[in-house]
A and B are shown apart, each in its own frame.
Chain A
Amino acid sequence: DAKTTQPNSMESNEEEPVHLPCNHSTISGTDYIHWYRQLPSQGPEYVIHGLTSNVNNRMASLAIAEDRKSSTLILHRATLRDAAVYYCILRDGLGGGGNKLTFGTGTQLKVEL
């Protein structure tokens, strides 16, 4: 499975945008880029995913580099409730092997007033 690299931690102020980077230089053509987040004492929660084009949903935006070797999760206005561990995961779009997710250690986002 292709690996991802994320910073261990980032800090943001409330109401400001947050850009969470992810490097995935060995990504294959059929790998989707998925983002999950895990709030304290909860299970992971799906945030967004994409293949080649930038994606937007009610939670966040995903910006994917043209060569697909990196991506950025964008929270447009961070709130205290966004403080969580954010995981960037590559997932084989061919669906083989049970569509498993391989979690790294993610980025711990701290949001301050």
Chain B
Amino acid sequence: NAGVTQTPKFRVLKTGQSMTLLCAQDMNHEYMYWYRQDPGMGLRLIHYSVGEGTTAKGEVPDGYNVSRLKKQNFLLGLESAAPSQTSVYFCASTKRGTSLSNQPQHFGDGTRLSIL
């Protein structure tokens, strides 16, 4: 059972470089999310998507872009990496529930990104 798969698992970048983090889910979920987690803190939402071709800003969107061209994939891009973006990035997905129902989010194992 693959669930939510994130690639790469680790990456080191230099300031100013760009990169894309890939999230893939095989559960046919409508909603997908990107979070970041800094040491000793809870997860903070960067961007999310409620369906193919749609994205929305979360709590900390600055410095990131996202795209959802296919339902199963959600890409997170850093155009010009900064040391402040050193963090662990988690992707999650969930099924769109009916009104008053709640579906759990399923998380990947994270991408550990260091920016020097």
- The distance from the CB of A90 to the nearest CB of chain B, in whole angstroms, is 11
* A104-B42 in contact given A43-B107, A49-B104 (Cβ < 8 Å): yes
Chain A residues near B71: list those with CB within 8 A.
none
Asked whether B105 lies within 8 Å of A42 as measured between CB atoms, the reply is: no
Q: Mark B81-100, 1 if CB is under 8 A from A, else 0.
A: 00000000010101011111
Q: Which of B14-22, B44-52, B61-69, B72-80 contacts A (4 or more CB under 8 A)?
A: B44-52
Asked whether B45 lies within 8 Å of A99 as measured between CB atoms, the reply is: no
A99 to B102, CA, bound (A): 8
Q: Identify the interface centre among A34, A46, A101, A105: most chain B CB within 10 Å of its CB.
A: A101
B26 is an interface residue with CB less than 8 A from chain A: no
Q: Mark A28-53, 1 if CB is under 8 A from B, else 0.
A: 00101010100001111110010000
* A94-B100 in contact given A43-B108, A45-B107, A100-B58 (Cβ < 8 Å): yes
B53 is an interface residue with CB less than 8 A from chain A: no
Asked whether A43 lies within 8 Å of B104 as measured between CB atoms, the reply is: no
> What is the predominant secondary structure among interface residues of chain A facing chain B?
loop
A103 to B37, CA, bound (A): 10
A93 is an interface residue with CB less than 8 A from chain B: yes
- The chain B residue with its CB closest to the CB of A43 is B107
Chain B residues near A49: list those with CB within 8 A.
102, 104
Q: Which of A87, A98, A100 contacts B42 (CB 8 A)?
A: A87
A70 to B33, CA, bound (A): 28
Chain A residues near B35: list those with CB within 8 A.
103
A65 to B62, CA, bound (A): 39
Q: Which of A45, A99, A100, A103 contacts B103 (CB 8 A)?
A: A99
Asked whether B58 lies within 8 Å of A105 as measured between CB atoms, the reply is: no
Interface residues of A in 10-68 (CB under 8 A from B): 30, 32, 34, 36, 41-46, 49
A contacts, CB < 8 Å to B: 30, 32, 34, 36, 41-46, 49, 87, 91, 93-95, 98-106
Top 8 A-B pairs ranked by shortest CB distance? A43-B107, A103-B42, A46-B104, A103-B43, A32-B102, A93-B100, A43-B90, A98-B48
